[in-house]
Amino acid sequence: MNTPSFPPLFSGLAVEGQVDPFVKACAEAARGCDAGLVVHDLGANLLRAALVFAPDVELVDAMAMLPLCGVGFQNALGALGPPEVAVHLEWAGGLRINGASCGTLRVAASISDPSTEPDWMVIGLELPLWPKTDAPGDTPDQTALYAEGCADVNAMELLESWVKHTLVGINTWTEDGVKALHKDWRGLSHGIGEDISINKFSGTFLGVDEQFGMLIRAGKTTHLVPLTYLLEGT
């Protein structure tokens, strides 16, 4: 069986069965593994993977890894899939392909205090490759990669491409800050200008602040939902 090839400083760890790559990556990170670990499960119907980071900035700034990995996924699929396939990113990590929900990104970190530098951060990817049902018309807002004209996209190559394009994004973010990431993410964002309910707030999704916190307008009041709201397990 072929194994994925990753850029220097990245290493792969294959899991299978009931082992969740995201949970496994968090456990490995907590035990002190090196940053750059890619835990992955290339299943027949589902691609699951998780990247371990060691941010050297405060958590509130390190959370940029979530939208950055989303942009990296769009770039990865854009490099391998048909040009007409559209990828959009939900603020909370959801992925949309040709308008329908198709997988998600997840995030966890060693701490939850926004002003503290985390020891580690993990971004997880879950991407359905084939629909769960033979009647996809029953769930028109849910789709899978191979149902959207991407049947020729190899899951292992997509994983490799995701890591590679994410690394490019990290380098740009490290050298130039968040400006380019903001521009790229906003061009791919889903739901801005629409009504939304999240974290006890309901209103219109206006966009994001400098640190990708969600801005919600409710009447004359604008509420901020920080990206750290999405952290799992803290």
Cβ proximity of 233 and 215 under 8 Å:
no
Describe the strand order of the beta sheet including 201-208 as a list of residue ranges: 195-198, 201-208, 214-218, 221-225
Dump pLDDT digits (tens) for 118-161.
Answer: 999 999 999 999 987 666 566 678 999 999 999 999 999 999 99
Residues of the chain where predicted confidence (pLDDT) is lower than 50:
none
Per-residue pLDDT at 137: 62
- The Cα–Cα gap between 112 and 199 comes to 16
Per-residue pLDDT at 18: 93
Per-residue pLDDT at 139: 66
Which fold would CATH assign to domain 11-190? Answer: BirA Bifunctional Protein; domain 2 (3.30.930)
pTM above 0.85, yes or no: yes
Per-residue pLDDT at 141: 86
Burial class (CB in 10 A: 0-12, 13-18, 19+), 66: buried
In the numeric block, which tokens belong to residue 134?
A: 């033979």
